Each structure stands twice: as structure tokens, then as C-alpha cells.
Structure 1
Amino acid sequence: MTPMKLAVAGASGRMGRMLIETILNAGDVTLAGALDVPGSPALGTDPAAFLGKSSGVAIESDLARGLAGVDLLIDFTRPEGTLRHAEYCAAHGIKMVIGTTGFDEAGKAAIADAAKRTAIMFAPNMSVGVNVTLKLLEMAAKSFSEGYDIEIIEAHHRHKVDAPSGTAIKMGEVIAGALGRKLDDVAVWAREGVTGARDPSSIGFATIRGGDIIGDHTVLFAGMGERIEISHKSSSRVSYAHGSVRAARFLADKATGLFDMQDVLGLK
């Protein structure tokens, strides 16, 4: 079988480099393209140079050059860039794995529209561990539906620009769905001042930003006389990269459609 040809957006960034290293080491896929923003000092260089290797491709800002002959693009950049990439990929039959977070409803709708023309795997977290945790949270929420207060605490590095994290929001959505609620109706995004007693139907969020924390998430189910905590802690971005390549393999035989990591892992 011919190896799947992958490209990476944000190739000179921390996540981009982790993806490139994972692809080069995978064996059954190949790095065939790399993108970065106009003006990046990395443009024109080999995306594998930081590893002391040569990939045979150059980092491009022009989509036509950077994605020429590519089967799939992995994108962990910013919403505005990802949406531009999604439109191009949909028009040219290029599949996508999207790990970008911070989309508004219009952005999510645009991705769903692009998925009518190409295959897209879109998830706020590509970690296999996080996605198994989401399944555990669904089960736990059904058991703790009465008498337990639910709080979601997340921590990330100082450079993360959106809050709460996409993973924390997804956790809230999964829990709310298991309880027959909509997250927007029950979420408490912040607390300050005299807030009054806690609404027992609410799902609270707390956000921490500092240092080089890769990503920590804890869901607290606090009842009378006991407290249950379900946590996932990332010590490296490598789990996101491995999950992304696994998602790319999943899309290999898909022509169109919108999928998430629960589909990839067979957890639905």
C-alpha cells in the first residue's frame, strides 16, 4: 500500500514539530507538505531540519505549493487559519485532521460544511487517554446525576490563548449531554463576588494558565460525604501527535464526513 501523504500546518511551532517527528517515525505515512504563516522565518526551510534530517519538502505559506500532492492536512493552528485551510482542502479533495480549538458556532458550522466535500476528523483533543476519559465521564455523569456538584478544572501553559480549553468544554458537553442538558444552559464560566448558593444543576469551570503546563484536566463530582475526581494530565504533546496520525489512518478510506476521536477509537 502506498503510504498516505500528510502535511502539517504550523510546521515551525511546538505542536507542528511534534507532528513532523511523529510522522517521520511512523513508517506507514510520509511527510509530503508543510505550511506556516506568511513572513515566518521558517519559510523555504526543510521542516525536518530541527531533527537534523531531510524530508525533501519545504515549508510554504502558499497553499497550492504547500499542499501539492498531499492526501491529508493535520492542523493545530488558529481558527481563522484553519477555516481558510478547510475551505481549500474541501475544494481540492484533501482530507483534514483538525485539532485547533477556540471556534465559535459559525466556525464549527463552516467545518461541518467542508466535511460534506471531504473527510474531516475534528476534535478538541487528539489524546487517546483524553478520549477514553470522555467515555468515563459520560458513564460517571449518569451515575452521579443527583446529589453531586460538578466542577471542571483545567490548567495550561501561559501561551494558550483560549479559555476554557476546548477539552474542558468538550468534557462539559459530554457530561451535560449524559444528564439531558445543554451545556450553554448550565455552564458557570467564572465566579466572583457574592454569587449566592450554588445551583445544583450547574457545571462550573475553573481555568489556570501558567508556566509550561501541557494540559491538565480534572472533573470533580462532589457529593455529601464523598468526592470523586476523574483526571487526565499530559506530560508531553506526543500523545496529541500519535492520536492525530491514528486519526489520519482512520480517514484513509473515507471520502467525506465529519468524525471525532470517539469514532476513531470505536467508542460510540
Structure 2
Amino acid sequence: MKVGLIGFGKTGRAVASVLLESKKVNLQWVLRKSTTLEHRSVPEFLGVHSDEPGLIYSISEFSADELFEKHPVDVIIDFSSADGVDYYAEAATKRGITVISAISAYPDNKLKLLSEIAEKIPVLHSPNITLGINFLMIAAKILKNIAPYTDIEIIEEHFKSKPEVSGTAKKIAQALDLPDESIKTIRAGGIIGVHEIIFGFPYQVVRLRHESISREAFGNGIIFALENLVGKDNGLYTMEDLLLPYFHLNETEQMFIEKNTKPWWRFW
């Protein structure tokens, strides 16, 4: 599967390293705003052994049509900014290129544009594309459905220089139908990212916690998305859409669990 990566900041570089090490994808190119590093090899720059081309281009060098014509890809992975979709939307749609966007926040007009192109191509948008965070969100929604009377608080921790409230924390609050005021923010040192959801029961507390140890976690999420988005119909997808089928046990799995799990009272 040939992929192109847009955005080459700290997260984009971490994702590129994971893509280069994967045998399931082929990184054709990286696109960025700056002309610095133009025409450098991504494997050489990152110190990753790879036979993939992975050349770096600037957005000013090609139009999207020219880029896709000279260096065709099956999937675009966007880690740039909210404006990145303006560059590739029309050209990607015309060529049937799948889009995976990991932009943390879009204004309404950009979300509308994503929805429009999703009528013609598969598009996945996830503000936080790590597997752990998206599993945590599903688990939190299940727990809230089981016990809607609990007190719920969200804590997010990030590096000291991060000014705004985490977009992922806001997404968690939205998923749980909570106000942004339920989010508690901590800024300290070089914390990459921690999100914790606290469920306060009358006589017990449940804490769901996810910590990003390195930005390569976003690359693992991208690989999962690539594997599970292939063959999907046109439409706008979330990571939850891709993860939910894994929550349904097939008949064999269900029989195994029932056979090997005793009711708690039989242990007494």
C-alpha cells in the first residue's frame, strides 16, 4: 500500500519512522510547508534503514494534482494543520485516494469539507489516533451507560508549554456528554500526554487512564487504521467505527469464555 504523509513536525516524524519500519505500507513521500529538508530522504534523515523512497517535498513545489500524478499513492495521512485538507481535497477525490486525518481540531467549514469529500472516498478523522485513547473512550461510554449516576471527572496532563486545553480531553467530554468545566488541566515538564477519566461511585472509584510514552504511538494507530479502512465504502469514519467490531465476540470466543470462566460464588 503506497502512502503519502503530510506534516513533518515531531509527531509526523515519529509516524514516519513507524511507517518506514512496517512491511505493510510503503512511504512514498512526505509533504511539508517549509522548504527546509526539501528532497532529503526521510529514511536517511531519521536514521532508519529502508529501501522506500520517502522523499521530502514542500507544498510550494507541486500542486496536489502534480504531486499525485508524479508520485501516486493509495492513502494520504494528514498530520499537518486544519488548512491541509484545502490542498488535497479535490485532487484526492478525483483519484479515489483514501484520506486519514489526525488533525486535533477542525473549524466547522473544514469538517464540512471532509464530510463532502467523504461522499466520494473513504475518509477517517480522529483527533487522537492512538489505539489506547480510542479504546479508553469506548470503555468510558460503556461504563457510563452501565452506571449513569456516577460522578465523572477528566484529568489531562501535558508538557509545560502546551497552552490550550487538550483537544482529546474535550473530545472525551463531548463523548460522555460532559461540560468542558469537568476537565482538570495539569502542565508540567515534558509530559507527552496523559488522559484519565475518574468514575466516582458511592463506595468505589474506577479510573481509566491512558499515557502516551512516545509519539510513535500515533504511528501504531495509523497502521491499525490503514489495515481496517481498506475495502470500506465511501464515508466519514472514526477510530471508534473501526474498533467497535472487535468488541463483538464470535461464537467460538464466547463458548471459550463461558467454558473457562466460573461464576464468582464457585470459588468460595
Q: Are the counterparts in 2 of residues 46 and 55 from structure 1 also a CA contact under 8 Å?
A: no
2:155 to 149, 153, 156: 153
Letter in 1 for 2:3: L
What does residue 170 of structure 1 align with?
Answer: 171
Q: Sort the Cα spacing of 1:156 and 1:91 in 2 relative to 1 into closer, same or farther, 3 A.
A: farther
Between the aligned partners of 1:98 and 1:112, the Cα distance in structure 2 is 12
Between the aligned partners of 1:158 and 1:42, the Cα distance in structure 2 is 28
Aligned-pair CA distance for 1:18: 1.6
Q: Sort the Cα spacing of 1:250 and 1:223 in 2 relative to 1 into closer, same or farther, 3 A.
A: closer
Aligned residues: 238
Letter in 2 for 1:114: I
Between the aligned partners of 2:161 and 2:35, the Cα distance in structure 1 is 18
1:128 lines up with 2:131 in the alignment: yes
Map of 1:92-241 to 2, 5 A cutoff? Answer: 92-146=95-149, 148-158=150-160, 160=162, 163-176=164-177, 186-189=178-181, 204-241=182-219
User: Which protein shows a greater Rg?
Assistant: 2
Q: Sort the Cα spacing of 1:100 and 1:160 in 2 relative to 1 into closer, same or farther, 3 A.
A: farther
Between the aligned partners of 1:59 and 1:119, the Cα distance in structure 2 is 25
Aligned-pair CA distance for 1:210: 4.0
What does residue 32 of structure 2 align with?
Answer: 36
Letter in 2 for 1:109: K
Letter in 1 for 2:39: G
Query: SS in structure 2 opposite 1:48?
Result: helix
Aligned-pair CA distance for 1:166: 2.7
Q: Are the counterparts in 2 of residues 152 and 205 from structure 1 also a CA contact under 8 Å?
A: yes
Q: Sort the Cα spacing of 1:150 and 1:15 in 2 relative to 1 into closer, same or farther, 3 A.
A: same
Q: Sort the Cα spacing of 1:159 and 1:107 in 2 relative to 1 into closer, same or farther, 3 A.
A: farther
Name structure 1 gaps, 5 residues minimum.
177-185, 190-203
When normalised by structure 2's length, the TM-score is 0.79
Between the aligned partners of 1:224 and 1:169, the Cα distance in structure 2 is 26
Letter in 1 for 2:35: S
- Over the residues paired in the alignment, what is the CA RMSD in angstroms? 2.2
What does residue 87 of structure 2 align with?
Answer: 84
